[in-house]
Every structure is written in structure tokens, then in C-alpha cells.
Structure 1
Amino acid sequence: MKIQAKSREHFRHFLPIATRWMDNDAYGHVNNVVYYSWFDTVVNQFLIAHRVLDIEQSQVIGLVIETQCNYFASVAFPDTIVAGLAVSKLGNSSVRYELGIFKENESQASAQGHFVHVYVDREQRRPAPIPDAMRHLLMSIQSDKHD
């Protein structure tokens, strides 16, 4: 099954990110590991900006248990990208984030993937229910598009 690039309309939150000189690799494009950094950045920026995650104090924290990315078009410094975010599955203690990386003015993703967080008690590292405020925020970016 061929995976198709998603459009911006699939995503509910967007974060512009400037590429850096150091993001390019020897092949002249952004190295694949940088995409995962962008995924992590857009998820955590969203949670922190909406005050449902305090990286130093929150009782419950999200641990990544799964990531995946597909690449469709090269991105290179000095491009500005826009990272798109949506939630496709929201469980009791886990969430699957859908992510898209778009060149600044393009409507189709240059790359897309997902990130699964399991929320755990900070001290015990055992699964814990997603706090109500976070759950309501995550529900606000749930995607009903499955393209």
C-alpha cells in the first residue's frame, strides 16, 4: 500500500520552525533525525503553551513508545517549515499524535509520521490516566480526516 502525503487540512495545530545550517547533512538536505526532533518540539510546545504540561513539575509525563516517519520531498536549510499536529487516537493513558512537516507555503506534507506517548506517573514510571485538562486539550485537536 502506497502511503500518500497528507494535506494541511488533516492537522489542527501548526508551529513554524526555522531550519538551521547544522540540520543539513552531507547530501544537502535535512537529516532524518531532525524530523523526529521537530515532532517532539511541536507536541511539547503545544502541551506547554496550553499549560497542561510542566516539564519539571507535572505528576504525569509522556514517554515515547513508538515513532514512525515517511518522507516525500526534501527539506533543506534555509527553508522554514511548518509542523502540523493532530491526535488520531486518545486512550486512557496513551495518545497517538499525527505529525506533518510542510515547507512554508506548500499544502502537501514533505514528511509525515506519528508519535505515541504513554503517560506515566513521574516517580513510579507506571501508566497513569491522562489528566482531565490535558485530555480536553487533546480532544480539541482530534482529526476526523483519515487521508
Structure 2
Amino acid sequence: MTAPRPTRDQFAALRAVPTRWADNDVYGHVNNAAYYGFFDTAVNAWLIERGLLDIAESPAIGLVIETGCRYHAALSFPQTLEVALRVEKLGNSSVRYALALFAEGEPEAAADGWFVHVYVDRTTRRPVPIPAPVRAALETLIVA
């Protein structure tokens, strides 16, 4: 049995992302690889906008170590998508995000997925605890 499609109320944050001509594949819909780019954009933009990630200077950075996606309905250019975000699990040095892609205004997700960031030292690439300000902000993305 397939899990039900996620709905908007199951997420803490939402970001509009326009599709691009290059996102479509030869079948006329957004290629599956583009979905991961939408997920990555939503998470990293959320962190950057809150001053929690400086892509050139932050001493601790989150590296993606695991990702997955389930597809429910086709999306295509020129749609605007809404990427929904929440934190599913917050560990010492890792965070698992749940994400969903919605066609603009649609109540059910066209796709849903996850990815895991492990925080590492920028130089050594060894795991480090999630910085306190980042952890505090990520806690606001936890949906009960």
C-alpha cells in the first residue's frame, strides 16, 4: 500500500521556486534529477536567509549524505512550485529534512522526499556538533 500524499499543513516552511525550461526532459515533465535541486535550494536558502550559512566562511557546513524522493504527479515548465520543508530528526551532528513539492496552490504534494545533512568542519571534513544557533533555528522546523 502506498503512503498518502503529504499536504501543506504537515510542513513548517514553504518556498516558491519557478521551474526552468531546462528542468523539463524529453517526456515533457520535470526530470527527476531536478527535484533534488529544488530540495537543496529550499534548505540552503532557508539557512542562508537566516544568517546560519555563509557558503564561503562558515566553519561548520552541512554535507548531504542521504537523499530520496517519491513521485506522485507530473510537474512541468512553466509551473511555479512550492517546496515545503520540515525537520524530521535532529541529532548531534546531523539533521534529516522532510520535503515536498507542490504545484502552486495544490493541496497535495506532487512529490515528497528527504535528505540528511551531516555537519562537518569545513577544513577537516570531520563531523562536528550542529552549531547552537543552527540547532535553535532547526528546532523551529519540527512539526509535532
Q: Given the two structures, how large is their TM-score scaled by the length of structure 2?
A: 0.98
Q: 3-state SS of the aligned residue for 1:2?
A: coil
Q: Which residue of 1 aligns with 2:143?
A: 143
Unaligned runs of 5+ in 1: none
Counterpart residue identity of residue 81, structure 1 = L
1:143 shift after superposition? 1.7
Q: Which residue of 2 aligns with 1:6?
A: 6
CA RMSD of aligned residues (A): 0.7
In the alignment, the residues of structure 2 paired with residue 27 and residue 140 of structure 1 have an alpha-carbon distance, to the nearest angstrom, of 39
Q: For 1:35-61, what per-residue CA distance to the aligned partner results, in whole angstroms no more than 9, with x for missing partners?
A: 000000000000000001101000000
Counterpart residue identity of residue 59, structure 2 = Q
Q: For 1:60-82, what per-residue CA distance to the aligned partner results, in whole angstroms no more than 9, with x for missing partners?
A: 00011100000000000111100
Q: Which residue of 2 aligns with 1:84?
A: 84
Structure 1 residue 111 corresponds to structure 2 residue 111: yes
Q: Post-superposition, which runs of at least 4 consecutive aligned residues in structure 1 deviate over 6 A?
A: none
In the alignment, the residues of structure 2 paired with residue 3 and residue 71 of structure 1 have an alpha-carbon distance, to the nearest angstrom, of 11
Q: 3-state SS of the aligned residue for 2:138?
A: helix
Q: Given the two structures, how large is their TM-score scaled by the length of structure 1?
A: 0.96
In the alignment, the residues of structure 2 paired with residue 129 and residue 68 of structure 1 have an alpha-carbon distance, to the nearest angstrom, of 24
What pairs with 1:1-147 in structure 2 (closer than 5 Å)? 1-144=1-144
1:3 shift after superposition? 2.2
Over the matched positions of the two proteins, sequence identity in percent amounts to 52
In the alignment, the residues of structure 2 paired with residue 21 and residue 123 of structure 1 have an alpha-carbon distance, to the nearest angstrom, of 37
In the alignment, the residues of structure 2 paired with residue 92 and residue 101 of structure 1 have an alpha-carbon distance, to the nearest angstrom, of 28
Q: 3-state SS of the aligned residue for 2:84?
A: strand
Q: For 1:73-130, what per-residue CA distance to the aligned partner results, in whole angstroms no more than 9, with x for missing partners?
A: 0000111100000001000000000000000010110000000010000011110000
